[in-house]
Amino acid sequence: MVALNKEFCIKTNTEGEPWPKGDYCIYMYQKSCPTDFGEGSIYFDDEDHKNKNGYGGTLPSGGYDKNTSYRYCCKNDGDPDIEILLPTTHDFFLFPHSSGCQRVYGMTSSMEYLHFDTQDHKDDSNVSGMHPKVDIGSGSAKNPTVYYCFYTPTQ
């Protein structure tokens, strides 16, 4: 098993241009979504045995203790195959909402994923509301797989 250390780059200023129409998700910040986004979450029933969860710094909305939950803001008001305009000076991630990566003008994307080893017995991992593309198994160990779209500037 490999330990996972996630770092977040969060837009803390909510002023400015509205987010473009499309089919994608972002992390929720400070318990509210931008206009025209729906809310949702993914809850991870983390392993109890040798659990070393920790956190610090600026984090997305959610829960961070012996288990982990992330809250999301999602849009599904546009076609993911129609390019949207976002800043293109740096690499970034968006979450796919339904199937594939939202096309972004001036960026190339690749679908990535993380497979989480959650509780082995009586795993309560679940999703609610509008959330990113995720596969959650059934039975006593659900081990969610969460999909990410990684964007790099087109050369």
What pLDDT digit, counting tens, does each position of 85-121 carry? 998 999 999 999 988 999 999 999 999 999 998 998 8
CA 132 – CA 48 distance, rounded (Å): 25
16 falls within a domain: no
CA 3 – CA 5 distance, rounded (Å): 7
CA 31 – CA 71 distance, rounded (Å): 8
78 falls within a domain: yes
4 falls within a domain: no
Q: Do the Cβ atoms of 103 and 82 come closer than 8 Å?
A: yes
Nearest CA to 74 among 126, 150, 21, 116?
Answer: 21
Rounded to the nearest integer, the mean pLDDT of the chain is 90
pTM summary value? 0.91
How many domains does the chain contain in total?
1
109 falls within a domain: yes
Beta bridge partners of 16: none
* CA distances for 40 relative to 27, 30, 71, 119, 133, angstroms: 10, 14, 6, 22, 12
pLDDT in tens, 128-155: 999 999 999 877 778 999 999 999 999 7
Domain, as residue range, for 107: 23-153
SS3 12: coil
CA 86 – CA 140 distance, rounded (Å): 41
9 falls within a domain: no
* CA distances for 134 relative to 13, 113, 120, angstroms: 28, 9, 19
44 falls within a domain: yes
Token pair of 121 as six digits? 């017995």
10 falls within a domain: no
pLDDT in tens, 15-54: 667 899 999 999 999 888 998 999 999 999 998 888 888 8
SS3 60: coil
5 falls within a domain: no
